[in-house]
């Protein structure tokens, strides 16, 4: 039952790997305060009741046929016979499902759709759900044995059953989709990876996340399904206890990395646990719609669950004051963009708040900043228009370049700024921008992450050899041509200032733009320094120095290494950063602005 995967990345380990002191870790984990993690189908079978009804629900991407066969064999080894009912029998015909989701898929658009507004029940026939319940009741009356309903949405048919949820990291789901084995919700066959991702982002994930939220508080067992022959199992109560601890302390998600057509070599050289690849362009350092949280028990066994579990169970404690606006959505992301010995990012722009809401169903937009974690001599960032750029002339130049596959003289239109370590470039929506070669950028941004309108991409193909799609019309509808001339330097390149200091430490404010709802600070210290959450979640990254110890609230002291990102929940109240080793530690911090400083588009007025 080993799943085919298309990636250079190995499967996540079943046991906590030994870490090298001072080295960036790909598999951070958090101790479970109680209970334990079991591995394998025999362990899962041992945790199930021997009679009654069991619902085995879960995410898309699971090989439900293989899962059933392996678990049934394990039950038989225990002398337990089970009757199995497949939820797929209740699905609507594929043509009906396609009709339901089609309005949200953007037609022929290769990238964008609109967030689905329905529910998981829209994929099933009500009469078939009733038939499943009737057959389950009949089986139970017949032999009083074990009846298992399995597949996505199984709890919809048998709501009061013993509930097992099989989770799958979204990174692993994409690796399976690229291999052609993971299907979208309600489809029998896999589609090509890019359409599959678009369908997942706009339809499957919102639907299944809403379903997961509705049952998160009552799941009896949680299964990590990424290792097909060796699922990890934890009780729902033990997982919820682990999540409760993170909600009042600190944590680090499991990051993952992807190559890209402009990708560089910095990550390969500096983050030694990464698997070999031609390059690495992006990190999902903290892009939580796709990250997972990993827990370990006293025996070092690991289980990963999606980050959504923490927000569904403890969102207000994690976010603090801003939970009233963001709900279950985490507001800030951290990721790496690596162009060292790579290529330029596309010349691009992100949509305005009203545009992203009207066209894509998102509540907030992709306001970004570039924090320069490292830069080679001569590295630059493209940001803002040159003085006097004409809207019509610029559009004509873009369209001519696209139609003729001819180079665009980008410098004629877009300003070029030198990039140095610890610079912060501000990229509110509507700003033309793109990183140049030679940067390792820590992108500090609002969480949306796919809404990039590429205007010019240097005539290069994607990794599949096909031209990368451009979004000239949408981009032109969102460009702010007033961000030009001298104003770019004065308003879009942050200037830090010291706002507090003590023995061996300083705190600097590195202000963001008025359109950003988050702010950035920086600690420099040689001993220790204390931070206060002030009612906001704090996201931190060690951008200089080897390693630090961090204590948050009443939680345990954790050690973090250079380039690692970690989160302090608002409910922690305070945290302490302790420098280790020689030199100086520098930690960059992002947090929500006070409510009265939120931009007007958030409706604070």
3-state SS track over 354-375: HHHHHHHCCCCCCCEEEEEEEE
**pLDDT for residue 3:** 66
Q: What is the mean pLDDT of residues 30-45?
A: 96
By C-alpha distance, which of 304, 275, 331, 121 is closest to 210?
A: 121
Q: Give the separation between CA 123 and CA 515, rounded to whole angstroms.
A: 39
The phi and psi torsions of 110 (rounded to 5 degrees) equal -75, -10
The sheet carrying 146-150 orders its strands as: 38-39, 232-235, 221-224, 162-167, 52-58, 146-150, 82-86
Instruction: Report the percent of the chain where pLDDT is more than 70.
Output: 99
Q: What is the mean pLDDT of residues 246-250?
A: 97
Above 60 in pLDDT, residue 423? yes
Above 70 in pLDDT, residue 600? yes
Give the CB-side neighbour count of residue 171, counting CA atoms within 13 A.
28
Domain with CATH 2.60.120.10 in the chain: 308-492, 497-602
* CATH number for region 308-492: 2.60.120.10
- Exposed / middle / buried, residue 17 (Cβ in 10 Å: 0-12, 13-18, 19+): middle
Which residues sit opposite 568 in a β-bridge?
A: 250, 538
Q: Give the separation between CA 271 and CA 405, rounded to whole angstroms.
A: 37
Which residues sit opposite 295 in a β-bridge?
A: 30, 303
pLDDT band of residue 49 (cuts 50, 70, 90) is: very high
How many CB atoms within 10 Å of residue 600? 10
Is residue 593 within 8 Å of residue 517, measured between CB atoms? yes
Q: Give the separation between CA 312 and CA 453, rounded to whole angstroms.
A: 31
Domain with CATH 3.40.50 in the chain: 30-246+293-301
Q: Please indicate whether residue 463 or residue 143 has the higher confidence score (pLDDT).
A: 463
Q: Please indicate whether residue 523 or residue 19 has the higher confidence score (pLDDT).
A: 523
- Exposed / middle / buried, residue 550 (Cβ in 10 Å: 0-12, 13-18, 19+): buried
Among the residues of 288-338, which ranges form H helices?
308-319, 323-326
Q: Are strands 574-580 and 528-532 parallel, antiparallel or unpaired?
A: antiparallel
**pLDDT for residue 1:** 47
Residue 562's contacts (CB-CB under 8 Å, 6 or more residues apart) are 22, 24, 542, 543, 544, 545, 546, 547
pLDDT tens by residue, 396-405: 999 999 999 9
Tokens encoding 73: 């064999």
- Exposed / middle / buried, residue 573 (Cβ in 10 Å: 0-12, 13-18, 19+): middle
Residue 309's contacts (CB-CB under 8 Å, 6 or more residues apart) are 212, 216, 239, 243, 293
pLDDT tens by residue, 484-532: 999 999 999 999 999 999 999 999 999 999 999 999 999 999 999 999 9
Above 90 in pLDDT, residue 84? yes
CA distances 528 to 51, 520, 550, 564, 598, Å, are 57, 20, 10, 18, 31
Q: What is the mean pLDDT of residues 465-478?
A: 93
Above 90 in pLDDT, residue 446? yes
* CATH number for region 30-246+293-301: 3.40.50
**pLDDT for residue 138:** 85
Query: What does the mean pLDDT of the chain come to?
Result: 96
- Exposed / middle / buried, residue 34 (Cβ in 10 Å: 0-12, 13-18, 19+): exposed
Above 60 in pLDDT, residue 118? yes
pLDDT band of residue 605 (cuts 50, 70, 90) is: very low
Above 80 in pLDDT, residue 174? yes
pLDDT band of residue 19 (cuts 50, 70, 90) is: confident
Q: Which CATH number fits domain 497-602: 2.60.40.420, 3.30.70.1060, 2.60.120.10, 3.40.50.1860?
A: 2.60.120.10
**What sign does the dihedral 470-473-477-481 (CA atoms) show?**
positive
Give the CB-side neighbour count of residue 235, counting CA atoms within 13 A.
11
Instruction: Report the percent of the chain where pLDDT is more than 90.
Output: 93
pLDDT band of residue 159 (cuts 50, 70, 90) is: confident
* CA 98 to chain centroid: 26
Give the residue carrying structure tokens 């509808």.
477
Q: What is the mean pLDDT of residues 91-111?
A: 96
Q: Are strands 414-418 and 424-427 parallel, antiparallel or unpaired?
A: unpaired
Task: Give the single-character DSSP code of 203.
Answer: I
State whether residue 461 is helix, strand or coil: strand
Please, what is the end-to-end C-alpha distance for the chain in angstroms?
A: 55
* CA 491 to chain centroid: 29
């Amino acid at each position: 039952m080993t799943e085919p995967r298309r990636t250079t990345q190995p499967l996540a380990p079943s046991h906590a790997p030994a870490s090298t002191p001072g080295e960036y870790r790909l598999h951070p984990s958090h101790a479970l305060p109680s209970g334990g993690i079991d591995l394998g189908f025999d362990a899962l079978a041992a945790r199930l009741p021997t009679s009654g009804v069991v619902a085995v629900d879960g995410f898309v991407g699971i090989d439900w046929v293989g899962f059933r066969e392996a678990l049934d064999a394990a039950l038989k080894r225990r002398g337990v016979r089970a009757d199995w009912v497949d939820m797929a029998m209740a699905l609507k015909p594929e043509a009906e499902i396609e009709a339901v989701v089609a309005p949200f898929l953007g037609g022929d658009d290769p990238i964008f759709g609109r967030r689905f507004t329905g529910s998981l029940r829209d994929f099933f026939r009500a009469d078939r759900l009733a038939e499943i319940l009737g057959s389950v009741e009949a089986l139970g009356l017949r032999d009083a044995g074990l009846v298992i309903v399995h597949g996505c949405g199984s709890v919809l048919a048998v709501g009061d059953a013993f509930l097992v949820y099989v989770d799958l990291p979204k990174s692993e789901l994409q690796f399976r989709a690229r291999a052609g084995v993971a299907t979208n919700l309600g489809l029998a066959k896999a589609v090509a990876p890019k359409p599959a991702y678009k369908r997942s982002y706009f339809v499957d994930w919102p639907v299944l996340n809403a379903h997961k939220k509705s049952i998160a508080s009552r799941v009896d067992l949680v299964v990590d399904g990424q290792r097909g022959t060796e699922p990890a199992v934890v009780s729902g109560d033990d997982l919820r206890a682990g999540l409760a601890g993170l909600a009042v302390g600190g944590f680090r998600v499991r990051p993952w990395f992807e190559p890209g057509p402009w990708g560089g070599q910095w990550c390969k050289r500096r983050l030694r646990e990464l698997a070999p690849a031609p390059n690495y362009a992006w990190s999902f350092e903290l892009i939580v719609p796709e990250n997972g949280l990993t827990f370990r028990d006293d025996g070092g066994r690991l289980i990963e669950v999606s980050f959504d579990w923490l927000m569904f169970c403890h969102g207000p404690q994690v976010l603090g004051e801003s939970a009233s606006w963001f709900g279950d959505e985490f507001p800030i992301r951290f990721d790496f963009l690596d162009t060292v010995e790579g290529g330029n990012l596309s010349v691009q722009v992100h949509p305005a708040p009203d545009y992203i809401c009207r066209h894509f169903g998102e509540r907030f937009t992709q306001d970004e900043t570039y924090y320069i974690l490292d830069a080679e001599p001569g590295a630059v960032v493209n940001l803002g228009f040159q003085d006097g750029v004409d809207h019509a002339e610029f559009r004509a130049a873009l369209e001519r370049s696209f139609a003729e596959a001819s180079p665009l003289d980008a410098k004629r239109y877009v300003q070029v700024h030198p990039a140095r370590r610890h610079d912060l470039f501000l990229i509110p929506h509507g700003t033309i921008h793109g990183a140049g070669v030679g940067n390792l950028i820590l992108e500090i941004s609002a969480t949306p992450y796919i809404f990039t309108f590429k205007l010019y991409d240097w005539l290069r193909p994607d990794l599949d050899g096909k031209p990368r799609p451009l979004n000239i019309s949408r981009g032109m509808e969102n460009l702010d041509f007033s961000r030009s001339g001298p104003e770019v330097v004065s308003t879009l390149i942050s200037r830090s200032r010291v706002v507090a200091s003590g023995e061996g430490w300083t705190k600097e404010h590195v202000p963001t733009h008025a359109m950003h709802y988050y702010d950035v600070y920086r600690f420099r210290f040689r001993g220790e320094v204390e931070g206060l959450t002030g009612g906001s979640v704090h996201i931190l990254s060690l951008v200089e120095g080897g390693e630090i110890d961090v204590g948050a609230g009443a939680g345990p002291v954790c050690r973090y290494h250079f380039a690692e990102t970690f989160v302090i929940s608002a409910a922690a109240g305070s945290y302490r950063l302790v420098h280790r080793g020689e030199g100086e530690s520098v930690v960059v911090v992002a947090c929500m602005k006070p409510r009265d400083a939120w931009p007007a588009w958030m409706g604070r007025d």
